[in-house]
Structure 1
Amino acid sequence: MTDTYAVPTASGLPDHADLLDATRTVRQVFAATPQQVWPLLSQALGTTAWVKHENHTPLGAFKARSALVYFDRLARSGELPAGVVSATRGNHGQALAFAAAQHGIPATVVVPRGNSREKNAAMQALGADLVEYGDDFQESLEHAARMADERGIALAPNFHPWLVAGAGTYAMELLTAVPDLDVVYVPIGLGSGVCGMLAAKAALRHPVEVVGVVSAGATAYADSLTAGTLVSSPVTTQIADGMACRTPVSEALALIRDGVSRLVVVSDEEVADAMRLLFRATHNVAEGAGAAATAAAAQDRARNQGRTIGVVVTGGNVDTDVYAAALGRPA
């Protein structure tokens, strides 16, 4: 018998049962990632700080969860396509290739010119057909949509309720493990990661304050919230490629507007400092987007006195030369 799943409305989030089902799907492939308090990091941030280590998934980023759930839901609904194409800066593309291969589906990923060399290589190693097109993610996304029409294959979304359900599994782990968490910082790219946190908060009725983090070189979500409508903003970040969003997703924007308490904007310099801090204090590698939550918490050091905070290290996939430059910054 085939399972069917209703797609929630734009204003909805995956519920508790949906998140538990997504967790079962993820568990078939890998175990829960750790959340840990590192004394040196807590000292630097001025309070007890829990790190959620999504850099410890098999693909080094939380996106693995989302793609596994997305393709599992397609399979259980009897709707697996003959092939998929999507746009990415790296982690989404790796996850797409990884999950599609488990179902015998070829995956094509479109990346902008000048994309991370090592992320490109990782996607190809996972079996993806790599296409370089455009000067930024938005141009790659538009090209992927054209390719889907031309080839008659499915356009795999970058934001979708099933992707949010997959992302919500990391948040379920964190909020269940740390019931006294006061505030959690979550970076925002297109929005599935932070919306997954909002879904878990609602499902568990957890009182945690969810703070979104955007790059100063990719302020589309912050600008859209300020304007009260969806607006596009130029992308200039050189290090937080996982947050390099020029045009927000309207569904994600609505969920962020309703669920996130506030946004913190972090510069590339602050992100590089946070990458170095995470290595010094935890000996973990964080890519730019993966260090953004820590950069925001460092900004809020005085504000968080006496609070228990969480920072989500969403990924650790960073090119060697970029990481070396971040580590080499003066303290």
Structure 2
Amino acid sequence: MKGGIGVIELDEIREAARLLEGRVIRTPLVRSDTFSRMAGAEVHLKLESLQAGGSFKVRGAAYKLLKRREEIGPLGVVAASAGNHAQGVALAARAAAIPATIVMPVWASMGKQEATKSYGAEVILAGDSLAESISIAREMAEEGRPFIHPYDDPDIIAGQGTIGLEILEDLPDPDLIVVPVGGGGLIGGIASAIKAVRPETEIVGVQAAACPSALEALRSGERVTVEAKRSIADGISVRQVGEANFPLIRELLSGVVLVEEGEIASAVLALLERKKVLAEGAGAAPLAALLASKLAFPMGCKVVLVISGGNLDPPLMERVVRQGLLKEGRIMRFSACIEDVPGSLARLLSLVAEKGGNVLHIHHARGGEEISSFKTRVDLEVETRGRGMIEEIKVALGEAGYEVLVRE
């Protein structure tokens, strides 16, 4: 690191790129005409979701292992992770023919456990929290297995910085680069590379509002530990930014913005529908910031969004997509009371159909203090084209005499 502000040396990042060539995927930078029109800018997506292991993590892990290969004994390395870092270390270790042991919290998803095992790592389920898993992994490191930190390590940061070099090779003059922030290794590496080559480019971080550790650190002027609420952007839910990363965040970033859960879900949905790109919550956070107008930039400027990963478990994907549809008004949920006689339900459904609504789910609720003995409550979930159609359906039902309770 340089003496003044702790920036990772550009030569170090270039050395990382040299070692990683042919060992990791050089991910594409693609322009999105759709998102460009929406934002009034030239929007490009750096698709680390297409990286080996489904995220950027393999870059830092691979560089760390290749650089320190001679220091690693027969027991190999140990790491702790609930997801992407686990898979990144496992892949990097397999490529370097090094044994890897990954400690994962007991609640880690089965999909990520199996993926990590499939890459050749030994998985140990231990710890009720990631912090506990890290503590256990560090104890194992004392037995002679180097501990591979997910973000707070200069080698890891330099490895992630190779993304910045690739961006500049494909787009030499970006005006703004937007990067997810958890522990800070990804944005620290990218910012170090970009600022060394093109200092006028602005770098902005994005965090989930559920865990604003980097933003609070910038506000207080020092690393702080924040409360972390549950988030669909679990990959960036890190309660305290790394010690090696905070100087980079403080000195190189133009700022950090927060996005809400619904905004993240909408971005996951938009990437899936508009670009056929599957992104996890953390990976979609930069697009969430763009679409929610959290970023300030001149019209027509060149914006790069780093889509950091695509490891979205199928059960969670279903819930996230559904949340995105609700947020965008693509699903209408409402209740209405109808006469409990033949034909009443058909008349209600015909009104919905006339306005173009597609019924997804329907439930009858008979009885109850709030329902007349001669009526039944119908709970409906209807697919729509957006909030305009929802209003049309509400008006049509109201004019037909139905009392409608719309549920968000």
The CA deviation string for residues 203-235 of structure 1, in whole angstroms up to 9 with x for no partner, is 313421000111111122222221222221122
Structure 2: state its 5+ residue gaps: 329-408
Corresponding residue number in structure 1 for 2:394:
none
Q: Distance in 1 between matches of 2:256 and 2:172?
A: 23
Do the aligned residues in 2 keep the contact of 1:220 with 1:248 (CA within 8 Å)? yes
| Larger CA deviation: 199-208 vs 287-296 | 199-208
Is 1:81 aligned to 2:73, yes or no? yes
SS in 2 for 1:85: strand
Unaligned runs of 5+ in 1: 1-6
2:185, 2:231 → 1: CA distance?
22
2:313 maps to 1:319: yes
Give, in angstroms, the shift of residue 188 of structure 1. Answer: 0.8
One of 33, 41, 56 as aligned partner of 1:39: 33
Distance across 1 between alignment mates of 2:109 and 2:305: 24
TM-score normalised by the chain length of structure 1: 0.91
Residue number in structure 2 paired with 1:4: none
2:111 equivalent in structure 1? 118
Deviation at 1:247, TM superposition (A): 2.4
| Range that drifts further, 220-229 or 261-270 | 220-229
Cα displacement string for residues 48-71 of structure 1 (whole angstroms, at most 9, x for unaligned residues):
111001111122211111111111
Instruction: Confirm or deny that 1:264 pairs with 2:257.
Output: yes
- 1:2-28 deviation per Cα after TM superposition (whole angstroms, max 9, x unaligned): xxxxx7779433323222221122212
Quick one: distance in 1 between partners of 2:42 and 2:85?
Answer: 31
CA contact (8 A) 1:187 1:293 kept: yes
Supply the distance in 1 between the matched residues of 2:23 and 2:52 (Cα, whole angstroms).
9
Deviation at 1:114, TM superposition (A): 2.1
> Which amino acid is the alignment partner of residue 105 of structure 1?
I
- Corresponding residue pairs, total: 322
1:18 aligns with 2:3: no
Q: Which residue of 1 aligns with 2:135?
A: 142
- Residue 119 (structure 1) shift: 1.7
1:40 touches 1:281 (CA, 8 Å); kept in 2? Answer: yes
Match of 2:52 in 1: 58
Residues 135 and 265 of structure 1: CA distance in aligned 2, closer, same or farther (over 3 Å): farther
Greater RCO, 1 or 2 (C-alpha within 8 Å, sep 6+): 1
* AA aligned opposite 1:65: R
Distance 1:42 1:281 in 2: 12
Shift of 1:131: 2.2
Give the RMSD, CA atoms, in angstroms: 1.9
Larger radius of gyration between Structure 1 and Structure 2: 2
Provide closer, same or farther for how the CA distance between residues 58 and 127 of structure 1 changes in structure 2, counting only shifts above 3 A: same
Is the CA contact 2:267–2:285 (under 8 Å) kept in the aligned structure 1?
yes
The 5 A counterparts of 1:1-331 are 11-75=5-69, 78-82=70-74, 83-149=76-142, 151-158=143-150, 159-300=152-293, 303-304=296-297, 305-328=299-322, 329-330=325-326, 331=328
Cα deviations across residues 136-193 of structure 1 (Å, max 9, x unaligned)? 32232222212222x3322112221111111111111112321221111100111111
Letter in 2 for 1:307: C
Deviation at 1:84, TM superposition (A): 1.3
CA distance in 2: counterparts of 1:205 and 1:120, whole angstroms:
40
- C-alpha contact (below 8 Å) 2:2/2:9 kept by paired residues: no
Find the residue that maps to 2:301 and give its secondary structure. coil
Distance in 2 (alpha carbons) for counterparts of 1:34 and 1:73: 25
- Whether contact under 8 Å (2:63, 2:155) holds in the other structure is yes
* Distance change >3 Å, CA 287–CA 302, structure 1 → 2: closer
Task: Tell me how far apart the structure 2 counterparts of residues 296 and 81 of structure 1 sit (CA, whole Å).
Answer: 44
Match for 1:270: what amino acid? E
Look up the SS of the partner of 2:16 in the other structure. helix
Cα distance in 1, alignment partners of residues 258 and 247 from structure 2: 19
Q: Distance in 1 between matches of 2:103 and 2:3?
A: 28
Alpha carbons 2:177, 2:204 under 8 Å: kept: yes
User: Do the aligned partners of residues 116 and 46 (structure 1) sit closer, same or farther apart at CA in structure 2, a change above 3 Å counting?
Assistant: farther
Q: Say which SS state the counterpart of residue 250 (structure 1) adopts.
A: coil
The question of whether the paired residues in 2 share the 8 Å contact of 1:215 and 1:237 is answered with no
Contact 1:46 1:302 in 2 (8 A): no
| Contact 2:206–2:259 (CA under 8 A) maintained in structure 1 | yes
Quote the Cα distance in structure 2 between the aligned partners of 1:167 and 1:301.
25
